[in-house]
Structure 1
């Protein structure tokens, strides 16, 4: 699906998504990524929601974001509760959803100037 959204100058937005990929500012990504308004971080985590580890959430907690959107692929899968401790300690919000919903939600929040990050598992 292609998304049409006015892009604030210098801000990353999702411009398309599909099975196993997303486009950020028209650049295609097929591996797990973290997207923030000012940068894209490739190679964020392993290949499935089940393989998420504490180190993945420690990394997310250290980002300059007030809310993290966790995209778990084509279907919604919640991470194990014990993995959320770094985010709770850093007082960061987490919303878990499928990747398509995470892309749409990110675009809305980023367009509002919110400090948001989308962490997507794409494999």
Structure 2
């Protein structure tokens, strides 16, 4: 059997999710970040879902998503209703899940060519 590494092309993808870091392609990030198929915004200043409020919506909207995936760490944790409503008012879907599920969902949607933006929360160092 021939085994070969196939890398998705045309978008940034999540290779691995761990408790303290997430690997994008071949680079591990250890602080929270936003991810779109064509760019990553590092050092997003959010470590937990309870930190999110309406003022954080603009960082996502600047990346022009059609859908937002929010990874809230090792466990799913919902942010304030005002944060969620900020997307719904703009007719942008948002889903909240743990980081591992968010990574799988992001990779699938990005591979389909969807304009998905994911926010991944990682514990502060």
- Provide TM-score, normalisation by structure 2: 0.87
**Distance in 2 separating the partners of 1:12 and 1:33:** 13
- Runs of 4+ that moved beyond 4 A: none
| Contact persistence 1:74–1:99 (CA under 8 A) | yes
Segments of 5+ residues of structure 2 without an aligned counterpart are none
| Higher Cα radius of gyration | 2
Aligned to 2:9: 8
Specify whether residues 68 and 5 from structure 1 end up closer, same or farther in structure 2 by C-alpha distance, changes over 3 A only. Answer: farther
Question: Structure 2 CA distance, aligned partners of 1:95 and 1:113?
Answer: 18
Find the counterpart in structure 1 of residue 66 from structure 2: 66
**Aligned-pair CA distance for 1:50:** 1.3
CA RMSD of aligned residues (A): 1.5
**Alpha-carbon offset, residue 5 of structure 1:** 6.0
Instruction: Provide the TM-score with structure 1 as the length reference.
Output: 0.89
Aligned residue in 1 for 2:104: 104
CA distance in 1 between counterparts of 2:86 and 2:122 reads: 23
- For the pair 1:42 / 2:45, whether they are aligned, the reply is no
Which residue is 1:54 aligned to? 54
Match of 2:118 in 1: 118
Number of corresponding residues: 119
Change (3 A) 1:118 1:5: farther
Structure 1: state its 5+ residue gaps: none
